[in-house]
Amino acid sequence: MADTTTRAKVRWGLLDLAVVVFALTPVLWIMSLSFKTPATLTDGKFIPREWTLENYRTIFATDQFVRALVNSIGIALIATSIAVVLGAMAAYAISRLDFPGKRMLIGVSLLIAMFPQVSLVSPLFEIERQLGLFDTWPGLILPYITFALPLAIYTLSAFFKQIPWDLEKAAKMDGATQGQAFRRVIAPLAAPGLFTTAILVFIFCWNDFLFAISLTSTERSRTVPVALSFFTGASQFEDPTGAICAAAVVITVPIILFVLFFQRRIVSGLTSGAVKG
């Protein structure tokens, strides 16, 4: 009996290993490239023979990358906060209140989750040019909020349904209004769900490439994924590979930290929304 468990454990262990290798190889590869010296960059070795931080020094010395990083962080943070607040309001209403039009809202957010984003690129390009939003932060924040909202609403409704709502009733019996009950009692209980949703939404905004490349034209609002695709190296004779890899690693670090620290939350956030659906 003990023998079979050991063998089962080994078997699972090997499968685990396969998953880990499959998932991490591309990430380790781009990290490895970012630490290579220009001379060894094209040697095709998976592990650098000579290590250097030169690539990181290069990108942080250029305005191009630093500006893009600021844009990425600013835009993603603002879009995330707005989407989570609006999403929380709607999710609260969906999970707690009875009102006509609820199904409609769920339907609309489902449709938007499936919406082909490229279909919006042409009209938004033209509309934003007319409104003066083209190549600005709000010009990107708006579509990000829109496409993050379905995710936020689904995840948050799933979380809200698990909250012990009797506490709300108790608060209302003590004379609190529905609004007060929401702010004082439920909001603190909902904080973990809000936080998880914020991470998921942030990852979505951080990731976007299509809107960012279509609705921006200068460093004013270009985000890192777009800046990466325009990198050319310090001079035209210089190969930008090392710089691109270093920049790529920099924007991967926050994702890896989120995943390392909040794996459990992220998994529960993504799966709870799906079970409900």
Smallest distance, Å, CB 236 to other proteins?
19
User: Smaller CB distance to other proteins: residue 67 or 156?
Assistant: 156
Q: Are 224 and 72 in contact (CB under 8 A)?
A: yes
Smallest distance, Å, CB 76 to other proteins?
11
Smallest distance, Å, CB 2 to other proteins?
13
Phi-psi region of 233 (alpha: psi -120 to 50; beta: other; left: phi over 0): left
Alpha-carbon distance of 204 to 151, in angstroms, equals 9
From residue 113, alpha-carbon distances to 109, 119, 151 in Å are 6, 13, 7
Smallest distance, Å, CB 44 to other proteins?
4
| Buried b or exposed e, range 2-22, using 16+ CB within 10 angstroms | eeeeeeeeeeeeeeeeeeeee
Running DSSP on this structure, what letter comes out for residue 36? Answer: B
User: Smaller CB distance to other proteins: residue 4 or 235?
Assistant: 4
